[in-house]
A and B are shown apart, each in its own frame.
Chain A
Amino acid sequence: MTPAKSRRHRVRRGLWILLLLAPGAAVMTMFVVVPVLGAFADAFRSFQGPRPTGWVGFANLRDVLFVAPYAAATWRALWHNVVVFTSLMVVQNGLAYLIAFALLKALPGHRVHQVIVFLPVVLSAIVVGILWKELLNPIFGAVNELLAMLGVQGPPWLGDAGTALASIIATNAWHWMGFPALIFLAAMQRIPRETLEAARIDGATDRVLMARIIWPLVAPATTIVVILTFIGSFNWFELPYVMTGLDGSPGGATDVLGLLFYRTAFGGVSSGLEDFGHGSALAVLMFIVVAAVSAVALRILRAREIEL
């Protein structure tokens, strides 16, 4: 090839690569990079409807964290998100670990079980939320009907401040349990068969196997399950929205940051007022909490992972 020809070839190749990258990069820039940077900027602005009217420094952030009436709602919602995360870790992921271990045994019908346990995961949170809202209806719901057969008078699950949040958490566990279960199962299946058989020959019971042998070996799966559960818990929105409403009824007992953020930004049931400044401040706080906790958790959890 002559030098001129080779240069033309290089230019054409460069243009071809550029053409391949351009559409994706353009969409990502316009609808990820710009809005995410904008979200941080908006937290420091005041708004009139959807129009920014000026910079207000840390006023929005100070309001939502320390000034009435914003602060009380923020801290209550944050606390509920913490409760959601902790409960899901124990109930949903604990059960998922047990189910994964049961599936690992390859008992008759385990493939069908696997498909069934994952079925709710593909359904919309809206379908799941409405379904469970009706199942938990105090008078005509299937749950209390079953309890009545056992001679128990069930509570008004979603209407009682003492049971409402727990009911939505249980619904979340039903909806998502298959996901951590199959992640744990995939990790368990990667443990060499000889390792498990050697433990068995040494007399390890199922309990010892689960707690001492398998648990440390599936540490990478645990890391990912913890992080994803945390992100999911702090982005909680759809289930409480359909089950107890945008206000997190009764009396804010099911209010979480996602609902509070939406109400603040786009207006709630009682007030249709948009408040993009305070809404953005909440969004930035949620972003920082999720990013910071995930980063710290990742470091701690990665440290306990061992190479096989």
Chain B
Amino acid sequence: MTERNRLAWQLLLGANTVVMIFPLLVMLLSATRTNAEIFASPLGLPTGAVFANVVKVWRDTNFPLYLANSVIVTVGSIAAILVFGTMAAYALARYVFRGAGLVYLFFVAGLMLPLKLAIIPLFIQLDTLHLLNTRLGLILIYVAMGLPSAVFILTGFLRTLPGELEESARLDGASELTVMLRIMLPLARPALVISGIQNAVPIWNDFFFPLVILTSDRLKTLPQGLTIFMGEFNTDWGVLFAGLTLAALPITLVYIVLSRQFIAGLTQGAIK
């Protein structure tokens, strides 16, 4: 590689980094400035009380409520996806039984279906079950959406585990449940992390299903709350940017700490 050639590629990456980071930097800086400051010069540095907007978002709006709802819905969905997904995957990976291939196909076929397009029947069904405008209704949709990928990843991983440990535990008189919980599942932790991240990111960020299913303000999740903010603080940019920054912060921080697992998790389905 010649020096000039090297420099050209280095410059491309540098320019790309600027394009990626600059908007986020503007968001962060604007969150610390007053409206008057932003309108006077959109690209300035903060001068006064940098946390004023953040405090306002936290104290005077429903932001904490939306955040709590997002946490409840995401944690609830992921827990159910991992528990039900692991159970099904364990049966498919560790036991030989008639129809196993068909059951596997049944679960994995869901990978191909965009569930958004079935929103009308889902809406009617939740209405019939009195689950419309409830967190449980939303969680059930997310579990159905997440199970196919969880079963796919976990079955693939559980199949690779050696059978000797299992057999020797059985000879020692351990029950099937003990074998599963004590011997096999601890070994599956890396696959559980990948599967958890792969589902948590789209659920945390989802906007479409809450938009259709939740109408009470006290149940709304963060992305939905932000669109309400956008209308409410249309003229108060400092507060709007503070809301955006606070909303982006949790997932950004977790991503920076676990970037390897995030990248692996989110590109998993595409790379084989």
Contact = CB atoms under 8 A, between A and B. Distances in A.
B130 to A, nearest CB: 13
A178 to B, nearest CB: 8
Nearest to B41: A145
A105 B266 contact: no
The range of chain A's interface size is 35 or more
A138 to B, nearest CB: 11
B20 A38 contact: no
A213 interface: no
B106 A25 contact: yes
Contact of A286 (B39, B117, B267): B117
B247 A124 contact: yes
Interface string B80-113: 1001110110111001010000010011001011
Interface string A127-159: 100111111000011100110000000000000
Contacts of A102: 9, 12-13
Chain B at the A interface: SS class:
helix
Interface stretch (B47-55, B57-65, B187-195, B200-208): B200-208
B10 interface: yes
Given A21-B103, A24-B151, A116-B21, A131 B27 contact: yes
Interface in B247-272: 247-248, 251-252, 255-256, 259, 262-263, 266-267, 270-272
Contacts of A19: 87
A279 interface: yes
Interface in B141-162: 141, 143-144, 147-148, 151
B181 interface: no
B23 A135 contact: yes
A127 B143 contact: no
B226 interface: yes
Contacts of B252: 119, 122-123
Interface in B205-258: 205, 207-208, 212, 222-224, 226-227, 230, 237, 240-241, 244, 247-248, 251-252, 255-256
Contact of A130 (B113, B226, B259): B226
A105 to B, nearest CB: 6
Contacts of B207: 124-126, 238, 241
Contact of B143 (A27, A34, A119): A27
Interface string A86-126: 00000000010011011101011110011111111111111
Contacts of A133: 230
Interface in B9-25: 9-10, 12-13, 16-17, 19-24
Contacts of B80: 27
Contacts of A108: 10
A50 interface: yes
B123 A50 contact: yes
Contact of B23 (A103, A131, A290): A131
B118 A36 contact: yes
Contacts of B72: none
A224 interface: yes
A77 interface: no
Given A42-B121, A135-B23, A224-B270, A110 B251 contact: no
B251 A122 contact: yes
B174 interface: no
B125 A119 contact: no
B205 A125 contact: yes
B20 A279 contact: no
B106 A28 contact: yes
A174 B271 contact: no
Contacts of B227: 126, 130, 242
Given A20-B88, A224-B270, A224-B271, 16 more contacts: A23-B84, A31-B125, A32-B144, A42-B121, A113-B13, A119-B255, A122-B201, A126-B226, A130-B244, A133-B230, A135-B23, A174-B19, A174-B23, A228-B270, A235-B116, A276-B120
